[in-house]
Structure formats: structure tokens, C-alpha cells
Chain A
Amino acid sequence: MPERPDGDIEQAIATQVRAAAAHRQGLYIQGGGSKRALLGRDCEAAVLDVSGHCGITDYQPAELVLSARAGTPLTALQAVLATQGQELPFEPPTFQGRATLGGTLACNLSGPARPWRGSIRDLVLGVRLVDASGECLRFGGKVMKNVAGYDVSRLQAGALGTLGVLTEISVKVLPRAQRTTTLAYELPAAEAIEMMNRRAATAAPLSGACWLDGTLYLRLAGEAGAVAHTARRWGGQALAEADAPWSDLREMRLPFFAGDAPLWRLSVKPSAALAGPAAQLLDWGGAQRWLRGDFDLAQLQGLASAAGGHVTLFRGGDRRGEVRPFPGEVHRRLQQRLKHSFDPQGLFNPGRLYGWL
């Protein structure tokens, strides 16, 4: 992936939005294009390319805050953060360098560290966005605490770009861990779920817990002494390459993710017993579970509900139908009204989140 030059095209984006509004024409907002086939329903609207809106606008390592234009590739951010010994704590997938900060927030994508270090939803501090009338608005800011007004910044997480065109995002960053160790255990799923949750309930520098094909992996990351001591106490087999399973998991490069079979994500209570098809990949200490195959959305939602959560058809399958369960009439009404308050004409990513939105 070639490095992209910095550029500020916010005004051009606003002009395009105004033109689209005048013609009541929908827009599909696209950054690096890495997630077009993920998470959302198919969207046929004309592409609004924001990848040229790129570059870090502010980075103060001692403030633990980084601000960048929405089209900036995550890899560019990571490279700059690394020079200061810092990182994006939510450990997002970078998808061969194509994933951008804006798309990552819109999709609320976070990696294996999410239960311990937070998601991008947890770490976003402020956004600039172009609204449906082509005006540039700012919510939140560059400080850690801000409770003035409703939390419009965090509302963008998982909204799949349906509330406005994100143009700039400020996130909290954190120092990188001094040391990382990965421990592996051969265990069946039920015991792995128990162990992940038990260990997450003790004071330890845990930062990842996943299970695949009969192996539980626990990642310890933090102050060197604490990591070494915990690793000795917990036993298991220490991997020579501590990062390997986690980056493959985060980037969805594991063989589990290969091929065209529909990919389902269950977001559930971490300690819930394994239910449904046995071939599942567990991440987030049990709170995120992946499944492959031709299943029925309602049937999987039944499983997810019993486990305290929800299912999403993450990739593949029928993306013209709904890819998320129906949230109920009151939820639908509130979400439609919210959408209407941001985007009364329905310009942004029409139908991407729900067919009725």
C-alpha cells in the first residue's frame, strides 16, 4: 500500500454533500474501501470518496491524544505513535494498510485487547463531521472528560456512516506494553470459557483471551515484572512469537476466516456456555464468538439472546436482506427518529445499517 499524501478536502466533501442534498441523491461514504463487504447491507448509492482527507492534525504524546483526518490509514497512525512508544489501545484491524480511522470508528472495529483496553467507541474523544446540509460540525474535543451535550462522538461508533460524513477524529492513545507474553493451553471450549473468565476476574496484566481448535491463548502485556511473574504463576506453554496469533486473529487472516461461507459474529456474555455449532472461534475473553456457515439470522439470534447478546451477519451471505436482528418496535422508532434528526433526507449510506433506516 503506497503512502498517501496529506490533504484537507473537507470543503470539497461539504460541496458534494450539498449537491447530493439538492438532488436528493444518496451517498455511499468510502475511505480505504476495506470494509465495503463487512458489517453493512449492500448500498448502491454513488460513492463519496473521503480517502483524500488524510493526515494527522494534532498529536500530543504527553496528552495521550491523537487527532487525524478520517481518511488517514491506521498504519500511518501506528507508525507515528510507535516513535513515541505509544499505540492505538483498541488494536484495530488494518486490513493490509487500507483501513482508515474514519471507517474504523464507523464500524466500531476493535481487536483482541478490547475487553481490557477498550474499543474505539470507548476511546474516541471527539469528531468533526459534515452534516446532511453540508455544514461542518464538531462534537466532543481533545480532552479526556467532556459531558457537555449528548455524546454525539460515541454515537458514530457502529453507525456505519449513516449519521454524517466523519472528517476528523480525536482518540485517546496509550503507552505500549513493556513486555508481551502469550500462553497456550490445550482445552475444550467449555473449560476454556471457564478459565478465560476466572483469570479475567483476578488482578493480572491480561490483554487477550481467545480459543480456537482446542487451544486457549492468553496474552499478558504490561510492566515486565508483572508479566513475567503472572506467566510463571499461570503455567501453560509460552509461545516463541508472542504476537503471532493475535495479529492473525485481528486481521482475520486465520484459516478460520478464509473462504466465502457466511461469517457470523455473536456478541454475548463472556461466560455464556457454548451453544450452537461446535466450530466456533472465541475472542474477547468469550464475549465475541465467530461462526461460519449458512444459518438463519433469526435462529442464530435465538442462540445469541439466550447468551445475553446479539448476532450480526458480519460478511457474506445475503446482504440485501437484514444482517442484524430486528431490535423491536420501540427501538426501531427511536433509531428512525435519531437518523431523521441527523439526516432527514436519508442521504448517508441509505439502507446500510437496516433496510428500514
Chain B
Amino acid sequence: MPAIDRAALLRDLQRLLPGHCIVADTECQRPYECDALTIYRELPLLVVLPETVQQVQAVLQLCHQRQVPVVARGSGTGLCAGAMPHPEGLLLGLSKLDRVIEIDPLARTARVQPGVSNLAISAAAAGCGLYYGPDPSSQIACSIGGNVAENSGGVHCLKYGLTVHNILSLELLTVAGEQLTIGSQGLDTPGYDLLALLTGSEGLLGIVVEVTVRLLPVPQAAQVVMAGFPTVAAAGDAVGAVIAAGIIPAGLEMMDRLAVQAAEDFAGAGYPRDAEALLLCEVDGTSEEVEGDAARVAELFRSLGASSIVTSRDEAQRALLWQGRKSAFPAVGRLAPDYYCMDGTIPRSMVSRVLEEIARLSAHYGLRVANVFHAGDGNLHPLILFDASNPQEVRRAEQFGAAILSLSVQVGGCITGEHGVGLEKLRQMPEQFSERELALLEEIKCAFDPGLTLNPGKGVPILRRCQEYRALPARHQHA
């Protein structure tokens, strides 16, 4: 297969798109060279920013015909280099498809374009007393198309689920530009559940150009109980105790000492600086439900040795208590030039064992780490502090991160709970999957994209098993 002729591709794209939708100049392409995992960077051949579904379709048809790799991008807030461009491909930015098409208050759905931000959906639905459940920390910026690609979670997914639980249908363009509807406005669709397969598929199977999400009624009331604990183990036990008491909190978050101190310095939320671990437990529902559950949670925390407990009295205090947690990443970011965020999921009961081991690894690699934990669903975000201008520290940070992922698999968990594999975790995939399992994942990829041009070199490691794959030139087997 001949190398891609950039000039010819540009000429063809100029026939399909208005000039302002094409970014050909290297300097103007810089903002697209990475997602939020900035240690992986690459410039694409060209960036396109189409404004209509028809334009996206035309671009895909062209790329399919010329076998040009296509990497889709939403807002670029991803954390696994999933949207990092391909050096011989097109970066397909979907941020201009940003219209809320329709809110149906009775059926409780919103039809939106993929570039609409997560928070904008809830804002558009607020007048109907409804909101969109999944709330990743980046929700002010991250796009719903990206949420679908990564199956994003957030702090409320123990009770309200992940993206896959909160969407009803997708308008999908195949790699060849054919449009099809996946799912429906009902709850089940006959045939294979392509909606489940597409959600979290990291732009490897198709391009999402419209999403219908389910909306939830805004809870009547919510309260948060904050508790400091003298040991991580005590906080871990308290998490189990809340669940065992039959309470499903709307959010249940844990932070370790370094994260607590950084967050407190940053946000002044009133966190106890001397605590080894901090829990934030939010309960929501009707007023009766919330009052009862908040009191039970506080009592449980007290009986399990909490050194300090605060229950929010009003919305302002609830917001303040969350402010510390929600700004934990930037707060920790102030402690070092850079941080590297990991994303393993572990069984909840393993948390103190895993945190002890992470502390040992931290000493071994000579890098500090702050731990932020979606404790309710076992999703751990260790933030490794390092200096990206020091190549040795970058290497050690990567090794430290890889060790944490291996540890997550060893204790019965997985390498990524909500950030995705992307380019970053490809090397860890064989720890979680056997060769035959990986081969099957690759076959699934081939079923949708036989030419392997959609986000090549991400998500699923290459085994060269697939018949079509063997025929591919080296440039498709990126990284």
C-alpha cells in the first residue's frame, strides 16, 4: 500500500469541507497533539472539524476509500491517550457537533450531538427537574461522545451507573460512513447488544454522531457525611459497613492523607488535616430517606472509630465539602510539576492492602503518591507526582504506574475502571487477558473495521492474528 499523499488528501478534504473546518498548519494543530494524558504526543497529517453529520460521513467515506487512519476526538479530556493522533492519519474533531437536539420531559430522554458537554445536558434538562446521571470530574468540559467512547463514570455511579446504563441509543457511522441506529427509545433491542459493545470501545468500532441519553429526576434532597479516620484500614471497614447496612450511597469517596492535605490547602473545605483517610458519603432521595440514611451513616462512622464527623446542614456546606474532593486533582497538581493518574479497580475489601503496597512502591520508586478513591465502586486513582522534564522520573513514574495496575489485577481487579486503555495501558492488557481472549477482542475489532483504520494502535494490543491484519503495512501498527 502506498504511503498517504498528504497534499492529495488535503485537496480532497477541501472539496468536502469549508476551509475553516480544516487545520493544516502545524502550529494550529498543536492543541490536538494529545489528550489530557500529555506525556504522549503526536501530530496528525491533518485535523478536520466538521460541522454537520453529512460532513463527518463524507470525511469517513474518503478516508475509507484511501485507507487513511481516523482518530476521533471530543473535548480532549481523556486520560489514556485514546485521542492522541495517528502520525499518518486524520484527527476527526467532533466538538462542533454541539447541539442539544431535543429534550423529552415525559419519556425522560435527551437527544444530543456528540460534542455536547456532559454538564450541558443536565443544564438543558434542569428546567424539567431532570438531569444526566454520570458525572466524571471533567464534566464541565468532557463531551458526551467521549463519555460513550470511554464508558465514563464519576462519583455517583455506584447508585446511578456508568454511561452504558444511562444511554438508550446512538447514531453511528461505520468506518465506511454508513449510518445506522444502535439501540432504540425502548429498553431492549433485538439482536446482539451493539449499544453495550460500542460503549467503551474507544473510537475503534465506529464514530458516534448522536446520542440519546436517559434522564433522571433530580433528587428532592441530598446530604453528605464527611468523616476523618485514624487509619486507612478503619476507613476501608467503614465503607464495607455502610454497604452491609443496606445503604447505597449516591457517592462514597475516600482520600488519603496527602490528598486530604492538598485538597484542604486548595479548597479550604474543612477537611481534618491530621486524618490518615477521609470519607465523603453522600445520600440522596426524598427528604425522609436522606435524613434517616445520613443519621445512620454518621452513627456507623462514629462506631467504627472516626476521629471527626461533619454532616452537611445545607446546600452551601454540601457543595463546600465536595469542593475539596472535586478539586483534588488540581490540588495535588500543585505539589509537583506533573502528576500521573492511574485508574485500577479493586474489590473494596482490598483497599488497605493495596494502599499499603502502593506506599511501599512509592518508596521504591522515590516518587510521592496521593490516593483518591471512588470507594463505593472500588475504583482507585493514585496520583503519582513527578517532573516531566526529567526523563528518568518519567520512566520511573511509568514503571510505578504499571506496578499499580499489575497489583490491581493480582488482587482480583482490573487495569482500568473508567479512563480506558487507549495507548497508555496497551502493555498491561496481556496481564488481564489471555492470548485467546485478546485474539477475540481483535476479531471484534475486525468485524466492524476490517481495514483497521479507526484509531489504530489503541485499545486492543496487536497479535497479528486477524487475517486482514496480516496484510497491513507497518504504519497501521502504530506504537
Please report A residues at the B interface, Cβ cutoff 8 Å: 60-65, 85, 108, 114-115, 118-119, 121-122, 131, 133, 135, 137-139, 141-152, 154-155, 157-159, 163, 174-176, 178, 194, 197-198, 200-205, 222-223, 225-226, 228-230, 266-272, 284, 287-288, 307-310, 312, 324-325, 327-328, 330-331, 334-335, 337-342, 353-354
Contact = CB atoms under 8 A, between A and B. Distances in A.
B444 to A, nearest CB: 5
A202 B349 CA distance: 35
Nearest to B288: A225
B174 A330 contact: yes
B286 A309 contact: no
Contacts of B205: 150
A249 to B, nearest CB: 16
Nearest to B405: A148
B286 to A, nearest CB: 4
B288 A226 contact: yes
B378 interface: yes
Interface in B87-107: 104-107
Contacts of A288: 186-187
Contacts of B129: 201-202
Interface in B389-433: 412-421, 425, 429, 432-433
B98 to A, nearest CB: 24
Given A139-B437, A203-B285, A226-B285, A151 B425 contact: no
Given A145-B377, A201-B105, A201-B128, 17 more contacts: A63-B349, A118-B165, A143-B377, A145-B374, A145-B414, A148-B415, A149-B429, A158-B191, A175-B248, A176-B246, A202-B217, A222-B289, A226-B286, A228-B288, A288-B186, A309-B186, A337-B448
Interface residues of B, number: 92
B186 A308 contact: yes
Contacts of A312: 190
Given A144-B345, A144-B379, A267 B437 contact: no
B293 A62 contact: no
Given A287-B186, A310-B190, A324-B191, A269 B164 contact: no
Interface of B: 104-108, 128-130, 150-151, 153, 157-158, 161-162, 164-165, 174, 178, 180, 184-194, 196-197, 199-201, 205, 217-220, 240-241, 243-244, 246-248, 285-286, 288-289, 291-293, 345-349, 374, 376-379, 412-421, 425, 429, 432-434, 436-438, 440-441, 443-444, 446-448, 459-460
A64 B460 CA distance: 29
A354 B241 CA distance: 47
A106 to B, nearest CB: 12
B108 A200 contact: yes
A194 B106 CA distance: 8
Contacts of B459: 149
Nearest to B283: A223
A231 to B, nearest CB: 12
A4 to B, nearest CB: 27
A338 B444 contact: yes
A147 B345 CA distance: 10
B199 to A, nearest CB: 7
Contact of B187 (A119, A201, A223): A119
Nearest to A353: B191
16 contacts: A131-B440, A144-B158, A147-B150, A148-B416, A149-B433, A201-B108, A201-B130, A202-B129, A226-B289, A229-B288, A267-B187, A270-B107, A271-B104, A310-B184, A324-B190, A335-B191
Contacts of B345: 143-146
A143 B185 contact: no
Contacts of A310: 184, 186, 188-190
Given A143-B413, A308-B184, A60 B347 contact: yes
Contacts of B180: 328, 330-331
Nearest to A329: B178
Contacts of A327: 190-191
Nearest to B418: A145
Given A118-B165, A203-B286, A342-B440, A144 B378 contact: yes
Nearest to B445: A150
A143 B246 contact: no
A62 B377 contact: no
Contacts of B420: 147
B286 A122 contact: no
A139 B246 CA distance: 28
A150 B442 CA distance: 10
Given A137-B440, A203-B218, A309-B184, A148 B432 contact: yes
What are the 10 tightest A-B residue pairs by CB atom distance, in nearest-first order?
A308-B185, A309-B186, A341-B443, A225-B288, A145-B417, A175-B246, A267-B186, A154-B196, A337-B447, A144-B377
Contacts of B190: 158, 310, 312, 324-325, 327
Contacts of B196: 121, 151, 154-155, 157
B416 A146 contact: yes
A61 B244 contact: yes
Nearest to B285: A226
B412 A142 contact: yes
A225 B429 CA distance: 47
Contacts of B286: 203-205, 223, 225-226, 229-230
A229 B286 CA distance: 9
A174 B248 contact: yes
Contacts of B436: 131, 133, 135, 137
Contacts of B189: 267, 309-310
Contacts of A228: 288
A309 B443 CA distance: 29
A226 B284 CA distance: 11
Contacts of A149: 421, 429, 432-433, 437-438, 441, 459-460
Contacts of B157: 144-145
Contacts of B106: 194, 197-198, 201, 271
Contact of A141 (B128, B193, B414): B414
Contacts of A131: 436, 440
Given A122-B165, A203-B285, A354-B191, A147 B421 contact: yes
Given A158-B188, A310-B186, A142 B292 contact: no
A269 B187 CA distance: 8
Nearest to B105: A201
B191 A284 contact: no
Contacts of A174: 248
A334 B180 CA distance: 11
A34 to B, nearest CB: 19
